[in-house]
Amino acid sequence: MSENRMQHAYRLAREQYAELGVDVDSALKALAAIPISIHCWQGDDVGGFESRSGEIGGGLAATGNYPGKARTADELRGDAAKALSLIPGKHRFNLHASYGDFGGRPIERDEVTPEHFAGWIDWARSLGIGLDFNPTFFGHPRATDFTLSHPDAGTREFWVRHGRACRTIGAAFGQALGTPCVTNFWIPDGMKDSPIDRVRPRERLLDSLDSIFKDRIDPAQNLDAVEGKLFGLGFESYTVGSHEFYFGYALTRRVLYTLDTGHYHPTETITDKLSAVFMYLPEILLHVSRGVRWDSDHVVILNDDLEAIAQELVRGRFVARTHIGLDYFDASINRVAAWVIGTRNMLKALLKALLEPSATLRQQELDANYTDRLATQEDFKALPWGAVWDYYCANAGVPPWTAWLADIKQYENDVLSKRA
């Protein structure tokens, strides 16, 4: 599409939205202020850069063997920078503890320090972005069925030390980059078959978490978050860190609660949980993925579920209280393209929600005029939000539509194809 045609389409769209009381310029300004935290593990199939090798573990599995995955931290940084250059707006990057610059040396998980991530800090500073962080409680000989809830005190203490070390790294990110790092705690602890004792593992987990979080860190540098899960592969019958456990923990310890779109029963939706948890918590971390037959972590697409999440964030005025991150890994397609597709779709969903005539819809609902509410919602779907998105991308210096694919194909030819 030529620039003149794009500008013309945008002007017409802006006029249409204005007739419904929607200020398109304000919507675009609001969208530009929303950072998405893009996850490192899409770039290398959750492998990390420790000297050890083997299965990911923890109920995690990346499928596919598309060529060109990142093998080093430098390669991953290059791939991520390419993806960021094709996504409008200013965003963040989310690291796991296993992704440090370890120099091929065997560094134990409880010995990781900010120095192992100095390269990431320099990289993020050069791009003007923030970093987020995650302890890595999987892919390790001491990560069996249990970590922080392990019956062996020595094993628990090892993972407690890892958790403390990761909070220190998160604080270093926040201090160096001038934006708080969200350090998210997820563990795979659980059992394949029904346990006799469900209580004591949760008591041990509670004690371990309290030990990790006992030292206060300036929230301007680091924000702690805890993430529950329904079940995982190999942990189908019992998950120690369930939704109820972590919501209670976040509520009583005043840490962030993490809602992951794939971590609930298929008949549950994150959309309805948002307003409920915000009744009690000031902020949350939202991990956006796409489950196919439950928590399969497919690349995020612009479907009804994603749009409903974005609508709830905007309608409830929760955007400023939500740290939005992505969480999927697909090794069956170009990994850099997967980053771009998923992040752009998250932004598209937010844009559509910001363009919604919410004042009109809210008044119709207050008046119990549900016929008009439904008609307005359905007619809104046909409005030319795509013209607004193209304009937003062009203004940000990012190719609209699938024009960005040419850059990806060139990058694959010049860089990815040369990797063994």
Catalytic residue among 50, 312, 327, 356: 327
Nearest alpha carbon to residue 101 among 50, 154, 174: 50
Catalytic residue among 79, 132, 224, 260: 260
- Asked if 118 and 73 touch (Cβ cutoff 8 Å), the reply is no
Catalytic residue check, 294: no
Catalytic residue among 263, 298, 323, 348: 263
- Asked if 285 and 323 touch (Cβ cutoff 8 Å), the reply is yes
Catalytic residue check, 236: no
Tokens describing residue 415: 């860089």
Catalytic residue among 75, 295, 307, 412: 295
Catalytic residue among 123, 186, 389, 404: 186
Query: Mapped to the 3 state alphabet, what secondary structure does the chain carry?
Result: CCHHHHHHHHHHHHHHHHHCCCCHHHHHHHHHCCCEEEEHHHCCCCCCCCCCCCCCCCCCCCCCCCCCCCCCHHHHHHHHHHHHCCCCCCCEEEEEHHHCCCCCCCCCHHHCCHHHHHHHHHHHHHHCCEEEEECCCCCCCCCCCCCCCCCCHHHHHHHHHHHHHHHHHHHHHHHHHCCCEEEEECCCCEECCCCCCCHHHHHHHHHHHHHHCCCCCCCCCEEEEEECCCCECCECCEECCCHHHHHHHHHHHCCEEEEECCCCCCCCCHHHHHHHHHCCCCCEEEEECECCCCCCCECCCCCHHHHHHHHHHHHCCCHHHEEEEECCCCCCCCHHHHHHHHHHHHHHHHHHHHCCCHHHHHHHHHCCCHHHHHHHHHHHCCCCHHHHHHHHHHHCCCCCHHHHHHHHHHHHHHCHHHCC
* Alpha-carbon gap, residue 347 to 381, rounded angstroms: 17
Catalytic residue check, 229: yes
Catalytic residue among 82, 140, 229, 243: 229
| Phi and psi at residue 286, to the nearest 5° | -115, 120
Overall size of the chain counted in residues: 420
For residue 387, count other CB atoms closer than 10 A to its CB: 23
Catalytic residue among 45, 224, 297, 412: 297
Catalytic residue check, 418: no
Catalytic residue among 227, 312, 356, 412: 227
Catalytic residue check, 91: no
Catalytic residue among 91, 96, 287, 352: 287
Residues serving a catalytic function are 186, 227, 229, 260, 263, 287, 295, 297, 327
